Chain A
Amino acid sequence: MKLEGAVPSRVLDTIRAPFLAAGGARLEAPIVQPLSLFLDLAGEAMRERLFIVQSPTGEEACLRPDFTILAAKAHLESGAATGRYRYEGHAFRVAPPGSGRAEEFLQIGLEAFEAGDAAQADASMAAIAWQAAVAGGREDLTLLLGDVGLFSALIDSLGLAPALAARIRRSFASPRRLRAEIASARSEEAPRSSDGGRLASLLAGLAEDEAAMVLSEIWSLAGIEPVGGRSAASIAHRLAEKAASAAAPRLTPEQADAISTYLAIADAPRPALEAVSRLPIAHPQALAEAIGAWERRLAALEQLGAPSDRLRLSTAFGRALGYYDGMLFEIRSEALGAEAPVAAGGRYDSLPARLGGGTTVGAVGCVVRPGRAWVGGAA
């Protein structure tokens, strides 16, 4: 297993300083964690990157791949409304074969579960990560910004039917599916309706509880054993949704163009936001709010010392990066490349709820890899 080289302690002190200044309780967490915690939240794709260990009683566990989920869990268990947690320790990820990446590495990070001005908090996190990253001595760093929420705002501003809007919003994470939606909008062919056939459209025409009863009767007549935990009511409900979505199944060519143009925007932040605000859309209000939030983030970043000539905003960035649902960022070194970011972070407001907590406060954090930040280290 490839290990990182050690970072000189004076360099580590400088990298650590912005995190100490930000305050927060020191988070300690066991290296060995239950496997289901990460798979439930991050999905099966995470499994290949985890070092899995098995206890003698057969439970599956893994070596912690990061601290964010652990911080969220600790915060929920504390019962406090708000909290801020700083951590420093080794994390473990299986490297893709042939990549030569370290599989055990040091992380220093901060997670904040707080109410208040989200845009300001986002900027502070990014600024902390920036100060820590440059303390490693590299001079070729860029701060790449993205925003999952901005895409969502764009979709809101297009005025799509709810089922279609939900589908497009979900495809943000899958470049292939989004391309397919855009291609389908531009093609001449009538949309292939997967509305479930005649039975489905008949059921969709009934009131939902009636449809559920009819469905149960049909199952019993056809000798179908209902397995799999979805009730007749929820299946009938979805049939109704599918029928509705079949009526408005796809984007118009103009909407597809607006989305394509949006996804191609990658520039210094202000020109990028300008390009976004120039998109031809039906309801500019939803988008205007999100753009306004960005103005405040950028102002705060400038004030906190992040050099504006090193910032970049890419609308397509962050598409498959797990649980972030708002602003997100990476700090990259030209020497190390896009596959080995020096630092990363973002907002993940909906994650605590999935762990069983409330949704009253936001969640935002950042993490730095000193082994990469240090200019004297290998990749």
Chain B
Amino acid sequence: MSGLILAIPSKGRLKEQVDSWLADCGLRPRTVGGARGYLAELEGLPEIQVRLASAGDIAASLAAGDIHLGVTGEDLLAELRDAGGAEVMLLNALGFGRADLVVAAPRSWIDVQTMADVDDIAHAYLARTGRRLRVATKYLVQARAFFARHGIADYRLVESGGATEGAPAAGLAELVIDITSTGDTLAANGLKVLDDGVILRSQAHLAASPRAAWSDAAMGAARRLLGIVEARARGKAMASLIWPAAQDSDARAALAPFAPPGDAPRANGLLVRGADLFAATAALAAKGVGPVSVTRPAYVFEAQSEAAERLAAAVGLEPEPAKV
């Protein structure tokens, strides 16, 4: 396992989103090998072996150390978190694949809005019937932790492989803990999210397995990959301004509030955060600086990736010497 192994989703909306994201970074994945299509390569980083698998399998492989890097949902990774040992490391949140892990109760229970209400109901149910309220979910670990945080003990989990939201209607459970993005499926099944029932606001993450067998070559490839995806994210979030050289000192004065800390100034130019762009251009205009041209960088590369160095430290490989 000397070369880097990266796993990406093999199906569904998440696959489309991850493929677009990689392509946008200049790393379009291309399947290789036969018709099966479970192996791929990234354009631009051929040294990385890419495997396609389900989001759930990717989470499990990261936890087991069978792969180095993977893209999957935070909800699936949180479920595999254990108390001891090297946990899967979240490197970058990717901004897509968003969904909330929620506690949902029947809409017809208009007297139940919060977890405190669930506590009351569960207690009364147990006292009256001698049985515990049933909660259907596949997220056993997070369900238990959330209920424990709210001090609720009078319940049972019913493990549910799929179609969890139909469990109450089928008489298999009273409550449900499941992933939801629009809330439509919940409503269609007669369920509502509790006011304080959001367990996790999940999104897709690029994650690493410190437990996997990391070689210098694999870490090198990981650094290159992280460098590129982070540079692309940075580039999209920034704008590059350029002004006439003669007006440089006025421009610097006008833009003092917008320069990122530790920024090394360019000759008659500055990188600002995209969100600050129009405020910056207004400040320049106010100082009489012009014409100012604005371009959006495709990438903004830094010498070091904070995520890569965190990973290297966790894996026990030599961090790159900090560039002064």
A→B interface (CB under 8 Å):
36, 39-40, 43-45, 47-48, 96-98, 167, 170-171, 173-174, 176-177, 194, 196, 199-200, 215, 219, 224-230, 235, 238-239, 242, 320, 353-354, 356
Contact = CB atoms under 8 A, between A and B. Distances in A.
Q: Which 3 A-B pairs have the closest CB atoms?
A: A97-B84, A174-B151, A228-B106
Interface in B193-215: none
Interface in B147-200: 147-148, 151, 153-157, 168-169, 171, 174-175, 189-191
Nearest to A171: B151
Contacts of A239: 110-111
A228 B153 contact: no
A177 B151 contact: yes
16 contacts: A43-B132, A44-B144, A45-B153, A47-B144, A98-B84, A170-B123, A177-B151, A194-B117, A224-B107, A228-B105, A228-B106, A228-B108, A228-B168, A235-B108, A238-B124, A353-B130
A257 to B, nearest CB: 22
A176 B82 contact: no
B109 interface: yes
A177 B151 CA distance: 7
Contact of B110 (A45, A174, A215): A215
Given A43-B154, A44-B155, A230-B106, 11 more contacts: A39-B156, A40-B131, A40-B156, A96-B83, A224-B107, A228-B105, A228-B106, A229-B168, A235-B109, A235-B110, A238-B121
Interface in B117-150: 117, 119-121, 123-124, 130-132, 140, 143-144, 147-148
Contacts of A354: 130
B116 interface: yes
A40 B134 CA distance: 10
Nearest to B174: A228
Nearest to B156: A39
Contacts of A235: 108-111
Contacts of B157: 44, 47
Nearest to B191: A227
A178 B109 CA distance: 26
A354 B129 CA distance: 9
B249 interface: no
Of B110, B131, B190, most buried by chain A (CB within 10 Å of CB) is B110
Provide the main secondary structure of the chain B interface.
loop
Contacts of A36: 156
Contacts of B113: 194, 196
Interface of B: 82-85, 105-111, 113-114, 116-117, 119-121, 123-124, 130-132, 140, 143-144, 147-148, 151, 153-157, 168-169, 171, 174-175, 189-191
Contacts of B116: 194
A227 B110 contact: no
Contact of A224 (B153, B171, B190): B190
Of B83, B107, B108, most buried by chain A (CB within 10 Å of CB) is B108
A39 B153 CA distance: 10
Contacts of B131: 40
A232 to B, nearest CB: 8
A45 B144 contact: yes
Contacts of B147: 44
Contacts of B109: 228, 230, 235
A93 to B, nearest CB: 15
B132 A40 contact: yes
A176 B124 CA distance: 21
A44 B153 contact: yes
B110 A200 contact: yes
B251 to A, nearest CB: 51
Contacts of B140: 47
Contacts of B119: 170
Nearest to B171: A229
A354 B110 CA distance: 29
